[in-house]
Amino acid sequence: MKIEFIDLKKQYQSLKNELDGAIARVLDKGIFVLGEEVENFSREFARFCGAKHCIAVASGTDALYLSLKALGVGKGDEVITAPNSFVATAMAISLTEAKPVFIDINPLTYNIDAAKIEEKITPKTKAIIPVHLYGQPADMDEVFEIASKYNLKILEDACQAHGAEYKNKKTGTLGDIAAFSFGPPKPLGAYGDGGAVVTNDDALAEKVSIYKNYGAPKRDNYLLVGINSRLDALQAAILKVKLKYLDKWNEMRRNNAKLYDRYLEGVAEITRPMILSHNRSAFHLYVVRARNRDSLAEYLKTKQIPALIHYPRPIHLQSGYAALGYKKSDFPVTERAAEEILSLPIFPELLENEIGYIAENIKRFYGL
């Protein structure tokens, strides 16, 4: 049996007529940048999140960067986040010329350990970026309490958590502003790059809209130095079709996670994901901790089961961030996790017999 890590072809085939129709509509209209398609998707994604505003942009990285710019983050500022995210989280901070300040993670959820945030706050601290890693929301109540105490802004990195919920509220509305990515593998994925900024704050929405359009609220009126970051109309039309199915797909992912949990129960060498009772994860990834992780991954590969590592080297140990002065052992929980975590295939169309095949081979590797 050959397993895909994520099978986007299956998803396309299930929606082929709708997606082909949406693409043809854009081609017939001949409007490929901005326009009605982008406006319609932005309005519907804002409604989906329960937010006032959605500003569609070119990528999740741009969404993070533009959110920080709108919050006034710049040279000399500090922004607190976790070191075990995708590098784009820290990169967005660096692009504003601010400094990323890392906090170790909760060993159970892999999200930022909110109890450790306060000790890293300085007069230069401007914002906190809690990452909803793998699709599970971070501990937002504690983050909010600290941010309120020190007058800090909260930027949700929701790039892996489309439709996830924290205490019955969808991600995107849990801080001052939020960033989403629509890269193809994401729970809501385009057929290319794409992203969005979501907020309930009118002023922040206006700033993002200006920054992402060359710094101009309207043509030939450049108020500031901005960038060109616009979601293509084709991608907006595709995302609008897919958005109708996102809640259903997330439920299918959650059901597949439960199947994994059941099939892997009793395997002492595997630590399954812990989802907090007040959270509903989008399960962008199903990440376990595994004894002899690298050997297991190689064994699974021989059985045509792709298992990936998200992420094998924490950001604070990347060469690009050597100037920050961090060293190995600075964030022991993050570093240990990086040596043990393994992402198993999970997507809505993954079948129970495929999950059973994966689990059986994991057991076989451990001699069970």
Catalytic positions, please?
A: 186
- Strand arrangement, sheet containing 53-57: 53-57, 195-199, 177-181, 153-157, 125-128, 78-81, 99-102
For residues 345 and 2, the answer to whether their CB atoms sit within 8 Å is no
In the chain, what's the furthest Cα-to-Cα distance? 68
By three-state DSSP, how is residue 179 classified?
strand
Q: What's at 196, amino acid-wise?
A: A
Q: Which residue reads 């919920």 in tokens?
A: 165
State the virtual CA torsion across 313, 318, 321, 326 in degrees, nearest 10: 70
Q: How many CB atoms lie within 10 A of CB 268?
A: 8
For residues 204 and 170, the answer to whether their CB atoms sit within 8 Å is no
Rounded CA separation 82/136 (Å):
14
List the structure tokens of 209.
């809209």
For residues 190 and 184, the answer to whether their CB atoms sit within 8 Å is yes
DSSP category for residue 160:
T
Rounded CA separation 96/76 (Å):
9
53-57 vs 270-271, strand pairing mode: unpaired
H-state helical runs in the chain: 8-14, 16-29, 36-49, 60-70, 88-95, 140-150, 202-211, 233-243, 246-263, 293-302, 332-340, 352-365
List the structure tokens of 42.
């932005």
Rounded CA separation 358/260 (Å):
9
